[in-house]
Chains A and B, each alone.
Chain A
Amino acid sequence: MIFSTLILNTFREAAAKKIFLGFFAISTIIILVFLFLINVDSVDGMVDMMESSGEEGVKNLVIGFEVAMINISYLLVITFCFISVSSFIPSMLEKGNIDLLLSKPVSRSKILIAKFTGGVLLIFISLTYLIGFVWLILSIKSGFWHIPFLYTIFWLTLSFAIIYSLIIFIGLISQSTILSILISLFLVFIVCPVLYVREATIFTFVSNTAVQFIINFFYYILPKTTDINQITTDIITGKKVESYMPVISSVLFMLVTLSASIFYFRKKDY
């Protein structure tokens, strides 16, 4: 009961911040645009053309839409959700609020895990709304019910959860919303993409093995959201996923970061 109260409070806080309403508004616009698109003649023509080239043509068209959708959702999740959830921990730690929370018969670990779970559930629901509706529209229009596209909800939620664990950790230590946003965006938009293409780009310029070792070291210890995004695309397009190492190591990163956050929160004086 206490745990669900804390989770529901996270939802209330998110709703109060309006930014999630923005997320829902944009998701609704995207869904409406999809609804509009499937009724325009040019798309009808495109579908007819693909149908004439066989079932494979329709599948390719649908998958093409879905891949575009993953990238849109990924950007939406990062832009809206990170900015919104980054303030969850610093606002919880505000003097006068944290005192009251910690005076209740709730363990500190439970408070933190509820904050994490609440944030992740929120993103899961938001993504289910966006991806679910787009999938439904595409499926009804094309007659091609492509279930793997729904897995995107899970993969994008996982990407969010991994970075959210870091946001919580930074929020706890710095008690700063801005710093949490900056570090998480820097990681997702700069560090992860750069490390993802390190072999194809950086290593062509850097031949020093020590430097390469350091770059590889960071690649392996840091979360790999770009890799996970690529794995999601591969699953949808039916390509063979070469390795799930990025997922496993990112999940490990999440578990370690969460454990460190809990350890720090349990020891900290407020």
Chain B
Amino acid sequence: MSVITTKNLSKEFSSGKFSKEKIQALNNFTFEVEGGEIFGLLGPNGAGKTTLIKILLGITFPTSGEIQIFGKNISDESYKTKVGYLPESHKFPNYFNGEEVLHFFGMLSGISKAEVKKKTDEYLKLVDMEKWRKTKIRKYSKGMLQRLGLAQSMLNNPDIIFLDEPTDGVDPIGRKEIRDILIRLKEEGKTIFLNSHLLSEVELVCDRVAILNKGVLIKSGRVDEITAVSDNYIFNTTEIDESVMHSLLSVYKSIIKSKHEFYYSTDSPEDLNKLIDFLRQNKVLILSITREKNSLEDLFINLIGSRN
């Protein structure tokens, strides 16, 4: 079931306060996010990613188009009780300590005081910030603020969590911990909307991604599907003798890497199975067949590079 749906969403900004020139931040953006998935939004700087999140959260208003969250129009603000958000470069009031930040934003989320207290204890422990709970946040490092921000975004037990660059400024161990938290949240049935520049990270945790460039959706789909190269297979086998190798080269047009490894290109499942039959007939044991993949980064650079 879709929890976020947009249809022909567009947003125009004026380039300056008194300028008539318009900047198209989003252009007829149509997409859906399914419940319980981790959805990654990718794109270069200025692609419109943060604008999209802000529109979905009612912080910025669209110029045109339709948005539904939990099947309701977002003009009904009640959906925000089921939403968590960690903005990019968030700025908590610096007169608070960690615990007070969670208390303040928890109360604003509409949950009871007792619930806020319970969740504060639980989530400060989860993000490993318990011992800093009484420290003023102006003394926190960037990574600590991110951890606190993540705890804040989960406090109201939301069904959707929007995370804008959640691992920004976090060390590698902290990033791994945040990834683990995201996976845990997904297992709990939460939907996570992730905006990140770290493509390798997105690839590790996201189920589906959308790639945005200059406000236009240029690619979307399941991570394993969009990174898969449709017709390239890597075969690992027991040792291949000369005659079989000759057939692989001449009949199947394979690329031989070694006596144990070769590449075969086809978009036909029948041809692939014929090759497998051929190998079996010739007593070659297949150890693995892997569909060759591009990394998300390769795909991203190819897509964005070709369009720019």
| Chains A and B form a bound pair | yes
Chain A, residues 13-28, CB within 8 Å of chain B (1/0): the string is 1011000000000000
> Which listed residue, B54, B81, B93, B107, touches A99 by the CB 8 Å rule?
B54
| Residues of chain B lying within 8 A (CB to CB) of residue A269 | 13, 54, 59-61
User: What is the chain A residue whose CB lies nearest that of B79?
Assistant: A105
Give the docked Cα–Cα distance between A97 and B94 (Å): 11
The residue in B54, B59, B94 that gathers the most chain A C-beta atoms within 10 A of its C-beta is B59
User: What is the chain B residue whose CB lies nearest that of A94?
Assistant: B91
What is the total of A-B residue contacts with beta carbons within 8 Å? 82
Which one of B82-90, B206-214, B221-229, B264-272 is at the interface? B82-90
The answer to whether B60 touches A100, judged by C-beta atoms less than 8 angstroms apart, is: no
Q: Whole-angstrom distance from the CB of B85 to the nearest CB of chain A?
A: 4
The answer to whether B93 touches A105, judged by C-beta atoms less than 8 angstroms apart, is: no
User: What is the chain A residue whose CB lies nearest that of B95?
Assistant: A16
The answer to whether B90 touches A99, judged by C-beta atoms less than 8 angstroms apart, is: yes
Which residues 56-91 of B have a CB within 8 angstroms of A?
57-61, 77-78, 80-81, 83, 85, 87-91
Tally of contact residues, B, Cβ under 8 A: 32
Give the docked Cα–Cα distance between A104 and B94 (Å): 19
> Which listed residue, A9, A97, A98, A104, touches B80 by the CB 8 Å rule?
A104
Does any Cβ of B come within 8 Å of A270's Cβ? yes
User: What is the chain A residue whose CB lies nearest that of B100?
Assistant: A12
Does any Cβ of B come within 8 Å of A243's Cβ? no
Chain A, residues 66-103, CB within 8 Å of chain B (1/0): the string is 00000000000000000000000000001111111111
Does any Cβ of B come within 8 Å of A204's Cβ? no
Tally of contact residues, A, Cβ under 8 A: 26
| Residues of chain A lying within 8 A (CB to CB) of residue B249 | none
The answer to whether A12 touches B95, judged by C-beta atoms less than 8 angstroms apart, is: yes
Which residues 14-47 of A have a CB within 8 angstroms of B?
15-16
| Residues of chain B lying within 8 A (CB to CB) of residue A102 | 57-59
The answer to whether B110 touches A9, judged by C-beta atoms less than 8 angstroms apart, is: no
Does any Cβ of B come within 8 Å of A2's Cβ? yes
Q: Whole-angstrom distance from the CB of B94 to the nearest CB of chain A?
A: 8
Give the docked Cα–Cα distance between A16 and B61 (Å): 33
Give the docked Cα–Cα distance between A5 and B107 (Å): 7
The answer to whether A270 touches B91, judged by C-beta atoms less than 8 angstroms apart, is: no
Give the docked Cα–Cα distance between A95 and B91 (Å): 7
The answer to whether A95 touches B89, judged by C-beta atoms less than 8 angstroms apart, is: yes
Which residues 92-114 of B have a CB within 8 angstroms of A?
92-96, 104-105, 107-110, 113
Q: Whole-angstrom distance from the CB of A262 to the nearest CB of chain B?
A: 15
Q: Whole-angstrom distance from the CB of A105 to the nearest CB of chain B?
A: 4
Q: Whole-angstrom distance from the CB of B119 to the nearest CB of chain A?
A: 15
The answer to whether B93 touches A12, judged by C-beta atoms less than 8 angstroms apart, is: yes
The answer to whether B93 touches A13, judged by C-beta atoms less than 8 angstroms apart, is: yes
Assuming the contacts A105-B77, A105-B110, asked whether A13 and B95 have C-beta atoms less than 8 A apart, the reply is yes
The answer to whether A9 touches B104, judged by C-beta atoms less than 8 angstroms apart, is: yes
Assuming the contacts A1-B107, A2-B107, A16-B95, asked whether A103 and B85 have C-beta atoms less than 8 A apart, the reply is yes
The answer to whether B59 touches A99, judged by C-beta atoms less than 8 angstroms apart, is: yes
The residue in B90, B93, B110 that gathers the most chain A C-beta atoms within 10 A of its C-beta is B93
Does any Cβ of B come within 8 Å of A106's Cβ? yes
Assuming the contacts A2-B107, A270-B60, asked whether A105 and B91 have C-beta atoms less than 8 A apart, the reply is no
Q: Whole-angstrom distance from the CB of B63 to the nearest CB of chain A?
A: 10
User: What is the chain B residue whose CB lies nearest that of A99?
Assistant: B87
| Residues of chain A lying within 8 A (CB to CB) of residue B105 | 100, 104
Give the docked Cα–Cα distance between A15 and B100 (Å): 15
The answer to whether A107 touches B95, judged by C-beta atoms less than 8 angstroms apart, is: no
Give the docked Cα–Cα distance between A99 and B83 (Å): 13
| Residues of chain A lying within 8 A (CB to CB) of residue B57 | 99, 102-103
The answer to whether A96 touches B80, judged by C-beta atoms less than 8 angstroms apart, is: no
> Which listed residue, B61, B88, B108, touches A104 by the CB 8 Å rule?
B108
Give the docked Cα–Cα distance between A101 and B61 (Å): 16
The answer to whether B104 touches A96, judged by C-beta atoms less than 8 angstroms apart, is: no
The answer to whether B95 touches A96, judged by C-beta atoms less than 8 angstroms apart, is: no
Q: Whole-angstrom distance from the CB of B139 to the nearest CB of chain A?
A: 14
Q: Whole-angstrom distance from the CB of B147 to the nearest CB of chain A?
A: 16
Give the docked Cα–Cα distance between A98 and B108 (Å): 13
| Residues of chain B lying within 8 A (CB to CB) of residue A106 | 108
- Could you list 15 examples of A-B contacts with CB < 8 Å? A12-B96, A16-B95, A96-B91, A97-B92, A99-B57, A100-B105, A102-B57, A103-B57, A104-B109, A105-B80, A105-B81, A105-B109, A107-B77, A269-B61, A270-B60
Q: A2-B107, A103-B83, A269-B61 are in contact. List 11 more A-B contacts (CB 8 A).
A: A1-B107, A1-B110, A16-B94, A94-B91, A95-B91, A98-B59, A99-B59, A100-B85, A105-B80, A269-B54, A270-B54
| Interface set of B (CB-CB < 8 Å, partner A) | 13, 54, 57-61, 77-78, 80-81, 83, 85, 87-96, 104-105, 107-110, 113, 152, 162
